[in-house]
Structure 1
Amino acid sequence: GVWRPWIPAPSTTPISAPADAASGPSAVIAPAPLVLPEHPTVLVFGDSWTYGSAATVPTLGYAYLLADLLDGETVVNGVRGSGYLKPGIDGPSFGERIAALDTSLSPDLVIIQGSINDRAQGVAGYREAVNAAWDAMAATYPEATIVVLGPAPHELPVGAATARIDADLSELAAARGWWYISPIAQDWITPQNYLDVIDVEAGRQHPSTDGHRYLAEKLAAALDELRAAPVTVAGGSETTPDE
């Protein structure tokens, strides 16, 4: 696939992910271009940003707005304060929440968002928790494409713990051949637009209603890029999608 700046450079020949991915994968697999039906069903799974915190009403959050931008349906599963290691305010950690998902749902796309909530949890067990959660999501919806949406900065400059989470998720996604979208690496939130996107007062550093609309538009545009990605074949040559 097209390797975005937030994904490590691929090897010349795609290879399988290492058996012990939790130990720190270095190999990457080129993901295939994103293919979605005309009116996709998208499960958006994440934390308070996915919940819609600080929007006038949660249903004005980015995950809900994404439905119209993709001309489809979004199923929103966001729990405030939740992370891969950290339990949330009104629900458990990611792994436990994935175990409780409706197995009858058949999403075309799963977006796993976040999370900055693991900043204080440290590195011990983090990659193992991520891999276990992702294994469970892939097993629950084996026909779905999974895209990982990394943490977005709630404050600037980006903290070291948030940057570490972003780097870990990027590397782990690359080892699986999954697309990874990094709002940090792509500068979605900058000093110039920070106060337009983030409600620093009543929203307690969550996106405002306008901020959620902006994030939905950025995410939809990023997904469109993944649809247009050329295919990388063994040996490093590329073929472009049919026009």
Structure 2
Amino acid sequence: MADNRQGQLGSTTRDRRGSRRRTAALAAGLLAMAAALLLALSGCQGVAAAQPPALAKAPAAPHKVVVIGDSLSTGFGTTAQDAWPNLINTDPVDIDDQLQLFNASTNGSGYVSIGTGNSTFGSQVKDAVTSDTQLVLFFGSENDMGQAPAAIGAAASAAFAEAKAKSPQAVMLVVGPPSYTDQPESDRLAVRDEVQDAAVAVGAMFVDPIAQGWIMGHVDDLIGPDGDHPSVAGQHYIKAQMEKLIKEALSQPAVLPAVTKAPTAPATAPAVVK
């Protein structure tokens, strides 16, 4: 009888030990499964949190500018590469301005004066301005000196009207003829006055290099041996003036309410480019 009770007690003890081992194994298995689940969830969250790379910003389309002018804009006396419109294209002061200049200028031309290839400012507008032109820049012209003032005014008005007809949204920037002295000839002033009046009539932005004192006092550095056309340094000087004006004009609406008057203080010449 004692032997039977001892056997039953040993059997019960073994059963309890086995049960504890099974329970421990089950708990360990559950912990392992929980750890694996947490690891999987953590991995999924990491993938979800990852952000796609930022898309590169597309470059802005360049502003299309047409230059209407004479030999002061062709590089006459230097080279076409040294002409101020080309300098703006190849070496702008601010690359973010995104300017694209098409230079329609020809030697000897003016509003009335007929230049190379029977060109006038009016014919340059007809040949070069397109519907997507954003700014038309007129510069000059001393070649019209001696022409009847009324004829200059009429030709300027016609050229401006043609530019507006070809590109209604385009801004017009009209720069009068420069003078290298503070006592310009009466014929030069007559050209300036007729061009200014025509520009005001169409709401263009007018700039007077004579009033601003462009080049005055710096002729030896900025004008070439012929005494009329800019040297390489002079082309860089005009480029600096024009680039500022273009940037200002492009910030204006297509039709301005009145002329932009030029300041009377002389412009300061930049360092001479060797």
Larger relative contact order (CA 8 Å, sep ≥ 6): 1
Q: Which position in structure 1 is the counterpart of 2:67?
A: 44
Deviation of the 1:75 alpha carbon? 0.6
Q: Which position in structure 2 is the counterpart of 1:24?
A: none
Secondary structure of 2:116's counterpart equals coil
Secondary structure of 1:84's counterpart equals coil
Deviation of the 1:72 alpha carbon? 1.8
Is 1:205 the counterpart of 2:228 in the alignment?
yes
Q: Which position in structure 1 is the counterpart of 2:109?
A: 82
| Cα distance in 2 for residues equivalent to 1:187 and 1:164 | 17
Deviation of the 1:167 alpha carbon? 1.7
Is 1:195 the counterpart of 2:217 in the alignment?
no
Q: 1:94 to 1:223 in 2, by over 3 A?
A: closer
Secondary structure of 2:209's counterpart equals coil
Residue type at the aligned position of 2:164: A
| Cα distance in 1 for residues equivalent to 2:252 and 2:161 | 25
Q: Which moved more, 1:151-160 or 1:38-47?
A: 151-160
Residue type at the aligned position of 2:69: G
1:153-192 alignment, distance < 5 Å: 153=179, 157-190=183-216, 192=217
Structure 1 residues 146-165: Cα deviation after superposition (integer angstroms, max 9, x where no partner): 11111112566321111111
Q: Which position in structure 1 is the counterpart of 2:99?
A: 72
TM-score, normalized by length of structure 2? 0.63
Structure 1 residues 2-24: Cα deviation after superposition (integer angstroms, max 9, x where no partner): xxxxxxxxxxxxxxxxxxxxxxx
| Equivalent pairs, count | 191
| Cα distance in 2 for residues equivalent to 1:95 and 1:224 | 24
| Cα distance in 2 for residues equivalent to 1:195 and 1:204 | 9
Is the 1:155–1:205 contact (alpha carbons within 8 Å) kept by the matching residues of 2?
A: no
Structure 1 residues 51-77: Cα deviation after superposition (integer angstroms, max 9, x where no partner): 12122x112111111232443211111
Q: 1:102 to 1:223 in 2, by over 3 A?
A: closer
1:94-243 alignment, distance < 5 Å: 94-101=121-128, 103=130, 106-153=132-179, 157-190=183-216, 192-199=217-224, 201=225, 203-226=226-249
Residue type at the aligned position of 2:236: R
| Cα distance in 2 for residues equivalent to 1:223 and 1:98 | 18
Question: Unaligned stretches of 5+ in structure 1?
Answer: 1-36, 235-243
Larger radius of gyration: 2
Question: What is the Cα-based RMSD across aligned positions, in Å?
Answer: 2.6
| Cα distance in 1 for residues equivalent to 2:85 and 2:195 | 20
Secondary structure of 1:49's counterpart equals coil
Q: Which position in structure 1 is the counterpart of 2:82?
A: 60
| Cα distance in 2 for residues equivalent to 1:229 and 1:135 | 19
Deviation of the 1:92 alpha carbon? 2.1
Q: 1:142 to 1:161 in 2, by over 3 A?
A: same
Secondary structure of 2:210's counterpart equals coil
Q: Which moved more, 1:138-147 or 1:218-227?
A: 218-227
| Cα distance in 2 for residues equivalent to 1:98 and 1:226 | 18
Deviation of the 1:88 alpha carbon? 0.3
Q: Which moved more, 1:84-93 or 1:158-167?
A: 84-93
Is the 1:109–1:147 contact (alpha carbons within 8 Å) kept by the matching residues of 2?
A: yes
